[in-house]
Structure 1
Amino acid sequence: MAANEYRGYLRNQTVMEQGEARLHAAHGTNRPLLFGTLAVMGLLQVASSVTILLHLTGYLHEVNLSSTEPVKEAHSEHLMADALRDIRKKDKPRKNSKDPIAVAHLSVKAPIDFSKTDPNAVTTVYWDEVRGTLNKIRYHDGRLLMEEQGLYYVYAKTCFRYAPDHATKKQDVSNVQLIQYIFHEIHTQSKTKPVLLTKSGGTLQWGNQSYNMYCVQQGRSARLKASDGIFVNVSNSWLLDPEPEGTYFGAFKLSN
Structure 2
Amino acid sequence: MPSNTIKAPYCLRDKDDDDDDDVPGKQITIGEWIYNRDLGFIQRAKYRHGRIVIPSTGVYFIYSQVSFLEVVDIKQGNSKPPSTTSPSLSHYLYRYNLIYPHGGEETLIQNSITKCWGHNKSFGEYTSYLGAVFQLRQGDEIFVKVSNLTLLTSDPKSNYFGLFKIN
TM-score by length of 1: 0.54
Structure 1: 5+ residue runs without aligned partners? 1-95
| Residue matched to 1:192 | 103
| 2:63 aligned to which of 155, 173, 178 | 155
For residues 57-72 of structure 1, the aligned pairs below 5 Å read none
Alpha carbons 2:91, 2:144 under 8 Å: kept:
yes
Asked whether 1:254 is paired with 2:163, we answer no
Asked whether 1:104 is paired with 2:16, we answer no
| Residue matched to 1:133 | 41
Alpha carbons 2:115, 2:124 under 8 Å: kept:
no
Separation in 1, partners of 2:143, 2:105: 10
For residues 116-127 of structure 1, the aligned pairs below 5 Å read 116-120=20-24, 121-125=26-30, 126-127=32-33
Judged with a 3 Å threshold, the aligned counterparts in structure 2 of structure 1 residues 176 and 114 are, in CA distance, closer, same or farther, namely farther
Judged with a 3 Å threshold, the aligned counterparts in structure 2 of structure 1 residues 242 and 191 are, in CA distance, closer, same or farther, namely farther
| Residue matched to 1:215 | 127
Once the 2 structures are TM-superposed, how far is the Cα of residue 230 of structure 1 from its aligned partner? 0.8
The secondary structure found in structure 2 opposite 1:172 is coil
The secondary structure found in structure 2 opposite 1:103 is coil
Separation in 2, partners of 1:181, 1:211: 23
Equivalenced residue count is: 155
Alpha carbons 1:114, 1:239 under 8 Å: kept:
no
Judged with a 3 Å threshold, the aligned counterparts in structure 2 of structure 1 residues 227 and 104 are, in CA distance, closer, same or farther, namely same
Judged with a 3 Å threshold, the aligned counterparts in structure 2 of structure 1 residues 201 and 155 are, in CA distance, closer, same or farther, namely same
The secondary structure found in structure 2 opposite 1:217 is strand
Separation in 1, partners of 2:87, 2:116: 6
Separation in 2, partners of 1:116, 1:133: 29
Separation in 2, partners of 1:243, 1:106: 11
Structure 1 runs of 4+ aligned residues shifted over 6 Å read none
Alpha carbons 1:101, 1:253 under 8 Å: kept:
yes
Once the 2 structures are TM-superposed, how far is the Cα of residue 201 of structure 1 from its aligned partner? 1.8
Q: Which has the larger radius of gyration?
A: 1
Structure 2: 5+ residue runs without aligned partners? none
Separation in 2, partners of 1:163, 1:144: 32
| 2:115 aligned to which of 200, 204, 209 | 204
Judged with a 3 Å threshold, the aligned counterparts in structure 2 of structure 1 residues 251 and 191 are, in CA distance, closer, same or farther, namely farther
For residues 215-234 of structure 1, the aligned pairs below 5 Å read 215-234=127-146
Q: Kindly indicate whether structure 1 or structure 2 has the higher relative contact order, using CA contacts under 8 Å at least 6 residues apart.
A: 2
| 2:82 aligned to which of 137, 148, 172 | 172
Separation in 1, partners of 2:100, 2:86: 37
More helix by share: 1
The secondary structure found in structure 2 opposite 1:238 is helix
Judged with a 3 Å threshold, the aligned counterparts in structure 2 of structure 1 residues 115 and 147 are, in CA distance, closer, same or farther, namely closer
Separation in 1, partners of 2:14, 2:50: 13
Alpha carbons 1:155, 1:220 under 8 Å: kept:
yes
Judged with a 3 Å threshold, the aligned counterparts in structure 2 of structure 1 residues 144 and 191 are, in CA distance, closer, same or farther, namely farther
Q: Percent identity?
A: 26
More strand by share: 2
| Residue matched to 2:51 | 143
